[in-house]
Structure 1
Amino acid sequence: MSHARAARLGFAITSAWPQVKAKLAEEAALLLHRAQALLFGSFKLTSGLESPYYIDMRLIPSYPDLFERVCDVYCELIKAEVARFDRVAGVPTAGIPFATLVAYKLRKPFIYVRKQLRLHGQLKTVEGVLKPGERVLLLDDLVSTGDSALKTVRAVREAGGIVEDVVVLVDREQGARELLAGEGVRLHALLKVTEAARILHERGLLSREGYEVILSYVEGARVGPRPGG
């Protein structure tokens, strides 16, 4: 985004943002590690595959001060990188607590998307007030391949909303950015998992061997372009 356009939209994007973002990313990596929301070892994923790290941001709301700080970081990222939006939508289910507080802090209406269509009442997928043509910012805790985020993008669009931006704290670097870009959606991530590993390695919290295992795993786990999304 150009500085002139940012000024017209009321957003302050300066040359200092990359440095500010790097500091926020370092803070986030250390916070996740301290809360044991980012662990290294050997973990079995729901897919049945083994992973050398595990991220569980569902733990964060259990620590009110930490939760608020993480949401403040989301707000800084959004103010710096997202031009304009009318509502904030939480990606089910882990993204909903963060989206709720972020929407409140930014004084934006909050909506969320159900994983499954409600089969009673108004039979809605999107809960909350959404008017046709409104711009919706999607917010989640993290992305991997991007499939969950893309499903939410499509649900909001089917309900009449415009979705051009998805914000997450952590990008697991497994193809989400490319998948979403193919649908005309920009991914804004504060932190890549390889960056988190580097930061923790430099702080002496992750061994050199562990760091190299993460780099190798991420490189092998990247998902290439998928026809038709």
Structure 2
Amino acid sequence: MTRASFADPAVMGELMARMLWEIEAVHFAPDEPYKLSSGLVSPVYIDCRKLLSYPRVRSTLMDFAAATVLKQAGFERFDCVAGGETAGIPFAALLADRLELPMIYVRKKPKGYGRNAQIEGTLPKGARVLMVEDLTTAGGSMFHFINAVREAGGVVEHGLALFYYDIFEQAEKRFTEGGVDLHYIATWKEVLAVAREEQRSDPKTLDSVAEFLDRPMEWSRARGGLEELLV
């Protein structure tokens, strides 16, 4: 079932950004910013889980994801696709189907009873695994799952996030030091560009969002939020 159109990455990023706006998965609120689980105060919030509720959107994104992985990593680089609990699981299943590969999923922590498993499914020793998440901010959650797969005997050198924040310096360092190439379709850059083009918010809001994307920690600190990214 492998399908890949190999569209230009910039085109795929812009189209995903438009999809996110169309399904109302993006929210800008600089006057009443969101406090994320990390403690970061942010004027932006994105809900990639909503993508699952729109068949044409999710199907197109799986084509984009398959094309991205095949073009950037290779056609025969993986033995298995893994999804992290919970948001990564459905996207991993959809992508595994596209790539005609087995799929496993990784719990946030061992089950606590029975086999006490953290990895669900069949993971042969030495299997080359593509780790999938719906989004990643700085890679902390993804590496939690990657480390679990590695401890179970899998080899993880590539990760895929449909959406990548791409605003934190710590992220690049984490993936480089962790030996993982991160692949993604869209970032906040594309989402903000579409917002400006389609006038999704007033200029003041868009400028405040742009300020956050340029200096996220300073923006958060000035509003009583996290001063150092921990995840």
- Paired positions, count: 212
Paired with 1:206 and 1:136, the residues of 2 have a C-alpha distance of 40
CA 1:108–1:30: 2 relative to 1, 3 Å:
same
CA 1:206–1:79: 2 relative to 1, 3 Å:
farther
**Alignment partner of 1:91 out of 81, 84, 90:** 84
**Alpha-carbon shift at residue 168 of structure 1 (Å):** 0.9
Paired with 1:99 and 1:163, the residues of 2 have a C-alpha distance of 15
1:205-226 residue CA offsets vs partner (Å, 9 max, x unmatched): 3444333322321233369899
TM-score, length-normalised on structure 2? 0.83
Q: Over aligned residue pairs, what C-alpha RMSD do you find?
A: 2.4
Equivalent position of 1:161 in the other structure:
154
Equivalent position of 1:76 in the other structure:
67
**Alignment partner of 1:128 out of 121, 125, 131:** 121
Unaligned runs of 5+ in 1: 1-11
**Alignment partner of 1:109 out of 102, 106, 122:** 102
Paired with 2:228 and 2:37, the residues of 1 have a C-alpha distance of 21
Check if 1:203 corresponds to 2:183. no
1:151-205 residue CA offsets vs partner (Å, 9 max, x unmatched): 1111000000000011112111233232121111111121221232123212333
TM-score, length-normalised on structure 1? 0.84
Structure of higher RCO (CA pairs closer than 8 Å, 6+ residues apart):
2
Paired with 1:90 and 1:177, the residues of 2 have a C-alpha distance of 21
Give percent identity, aligned residues only. 35
